[in-house]
A and B are shown apart, each in its own frame.
Chain A
């Protein structure tokens, strides 16, 4: 019982880890056609995430594995039910990986600008698709009695899901811009700095709209807050984070701003997750078909073994992630090994 709750919490933490860590490098990808004006600047963008993006993406892989192991019925239903959408996610994930790796391998401008566009489009695509997928989870999905979802791609493109998708894009773009403020230099840095507040404002508007829509339309999420109003401290913490991040941006303390941008992302995700609890997937057909952290979970045996593995593994992960970021701290300089 408590194991299921622990695994729900861990899963949310892993997804938050993904959104924070890979989030900024997706944001860098989304911003680069707008902010980087020449090859040198594009390489600064690419190399700001160069040594870390691959490790960041592991959070997504870990999320997939954790879902498979802890809540296999959700893993099975969600990914097969959203088949074409998932295939698009895989497509953009592949394209993004190879775009980053291939881009600077040849000097030809046509080659480089081709991969630059792929890098942009795939970064944007991942943010949009994951946002829309999450929007659908908030909307609820047509889960049948057998636990399977029968929906086609166009059923998924509801206005409220698209709103989540667009909000995600601006959230990650903002996060990426704050990160770049620590990494870029010269004229590029000035440009990035001008964009950070603008992006924050746009994100704030979309996010406010999203919170309003969720409160009004998504009873599955908002009911929890009507029943236990003290839980509003969670979205409250997210709001406070965004305010502090704004102040830190104003003071040009970008590392602090980045930390608060990260807690904001985590706060928003946790707020939504708490609203969904104990459901993982809400059925629009019949509430008794909901997949919850109890009826969709693995046995206590598996959950215990996995918890032990997580407790052994995660400290190492945090240790060497911190080490790598420390070694590559400071502003980007292009060298002979760079992308």
Chain B
């Protein structure tokens, strides 16, 4: 089989599987910081118990995230050497920066986060948790910087060298702050916070429904996660998502045309709610809201949105998958607003949420929807970038390896499919076991009274940290 096609399948597969975990690392990280602050403010032991529980969940998520993330870093070299040569000067340095600035932060403080609970005082433990969460966000910043450069390259010059064509850096700040970077970063961070909050809502609701002895902890979890979920789901689609879409309109108009299935240049272009692209007849069917796309893209209902036929067909992304991914993301985004408001309504209406079984079940399912939404959002960005690996500079078909053989990539594909399937089953199995078991009683976690733990830098580095 064609090694290039197989390499594309492999990258899509490994990147998608990896992308299940980082949003959770960021979202749970933020919420763990909030839980830690709650404990410091109130000294209510339930927050400490929840910290121990969610830190363990975090450890599991983080482990699979790291294991699958290392693959990504080396895959550029193994399967995409022509790409690596072309972008090494720029993309490589952003990856290296991610390592030196973010991964060491995460990796260094993860040990303190996972094992520090009964060795450090609550403030120092929270500091460790904060550093890991910060590292996770910082890591996303660098990798999205690198990705944004692939989408909207800037600050480079393309040069012929004896070793092939290469992009050289002309201005570091331009390569870092490419036009699509800031909107992409916010959109992804907010999506991650929503995903983390969705997991907490889901587990909290599950405790209320099925693990009755943890009902109180379930309520506390929902109290932390629900405001985050409601606020960010309300802001995500109309603000952060819309800015991202505007950015695509400006810098990748053919991607926008594919996302919305617009064939001809259209004034007062409609936005499709659900639909289907008929590629053979160059038509897009579905429920459409008139003029909305023109308004969202340009702030003017009479603005002209460029259609696919204004671009050469060999620069079109795969249409159906881009279109469907995008619409699924948007629709899920709207569903999240509904779920958030529904839960908030029952919460404020005399705390009826705690007893409302149907709404609690909806919350249990939210995490699956949130993961699906972040996934298809990413697919929109990446399928929509095709046929380019670096927008309008390098085609994906020219970025592969001249030396790889089909059977080699077939073997590695088989390996990853098998390995990731097993990993996923084990991850779900262990996560489920942890959730069913629920938080440990606090007494079993404490080796020493909380007050006796070193809680300032001075205490850590003067006294023996261990009893």
Chain A interfacial positions (CB closer than 8 Å to B): 50-52, 54-58, 60-62, 64-66, 68-73, 75-81, 83-84, 86-87, 89-91, 93-95, 97-98, 100-102, 105-106, 146-150, 295-296, 298-299, 301-302, 305-306, 309-310, 313-314, 316-317, 320-321, 324, 326-330, 333, 335-338
Contact = CB atoms under 8 A, between A and B. Distances in A.
Contact of A309 (B71, B73, B85, B96): B96
Contacts of B107: 54-58
Given A80-B81, A94-B71, A317 B401 contact: no
A98 B67 contact: yes
B108 A98 contact: no
A214 B412 CA distance: 33
Contacts of A51: 111-112, 114-115
A305 B93 CA distance: 8
Given A65-B99, A86-B74, A75 B163 contact: no
A70 B90 CA distance: 10
A301 to B, nearest CB: 5
B76 A68 contact: yes
A65 B143 CA distance: 12
A100 B114 CA distance: 13
B160 to A, nearest CB: 14
Interface of B: 52, 59-60, 63-64, 66-68, 70-71, 73-74, 76-79, 81-82, 84-85, 87-93, 95-101, 103-105, 107-112, 114-120, 131, 162-164, 166, 168-170, 172, 401-404, 408, 411-412, 415, 419, 423, 426, 430, 433-434, 440, 444-445, 447, 460-461, 465-466
Contacts of A86: 74, 77-78
B110 A54 contact: yes
A72 B78 contact: no
Contact of A75 (B64, B67, B88): B88
A334 B68 CA distance: 29
Which residue, of A90, A298, A309, has the highest number of chain B Cβ atoms within 10 A?
A: A90
Given A65-B99, A86-B74, A105-B430, 7 more contacts: A68-B73, A68-B84, A76-B88, A105-B60, A302-B168, A320-B105, A335-B115
A76 B85 contact: yes
Given A62-B103, A68-B88, A83 B78 contact: yes
A302 B89 contact: yes
B115 A87 contact: no
Nearest to A51: B111
A80 B93 contact: no
Contacts of B412: 83-84, 87
A327 B112 contact: yes
A61 B444 contact: no
Contacts of B103: 58, 61-62
Given A68-B76, A80-B77, A299-B168, A336 B118 contact: yes
A310 B8 CA distance: 33
Nearest to A101: B63
Contacts of B112: 51, 324, 327
A72 B87 CA distance: 8
With most chain B CB atoms within 10 A of its CB, the pick from A70, A71, A86, A101 is A101
10 contacts: A57-B70, A68-B92, A69-B96, A70-B92, A95-B419, A100-B63, A148-B81, A309-B100, A324-B108, A335-B118
B115 A338 contact: yes
Contacts of A305: 93, 169, 172
- Pick from B63, B404, B447 the residue with the most CB of A within 10 Å: B63
A69 B423 contact: no
Could you say which of A72, A102, A302, A321 has the most chain B C-beta atoms within 10 Å of its C-beta?
Answer: A72
A146 B403 CA distance: 11
A302 B402 contact: no
Nearest to B73: A64
Given A62-B104, A86-B74, A98-B63, A55 B88 contact: no
Contact of A79 (B77, B90, B96, B98): B77
A26 to B, nearest CB: 15
Contacts of B163: 73, 147, 295-296
Nearest to A296: B163
A301 B169 contact: yes
Contacts of A73: 85, 88, 163
Nearest to B69: A61
Nearest to A331: B466
Contacts of B415: 87, 91
Contacts of A148: 81, 401-403
B108 A306 contact: no
Contacts of A299: 89, 168-169
Contacts of A105: 60, 430, 433-434
A76 B81 contact: yes
Contact of B71 (A90, A146, A337): A90
Which among A66, A77, A79 has the highest number of chain B CB atoms within 10 Å? A79
A70 B107 CA distance: 23
B415 to A, nearest CB: 6
Nearest to A327: B465
Contact of B120 (A79, A296, A327): A327
A321 to B, nearest CB: 6
Given A98-B64, A101-B63, A317-B100, A55 B108 contact: yes
Given A50-B115, A76-B81, A81-B403, A69 B95 contact: yes
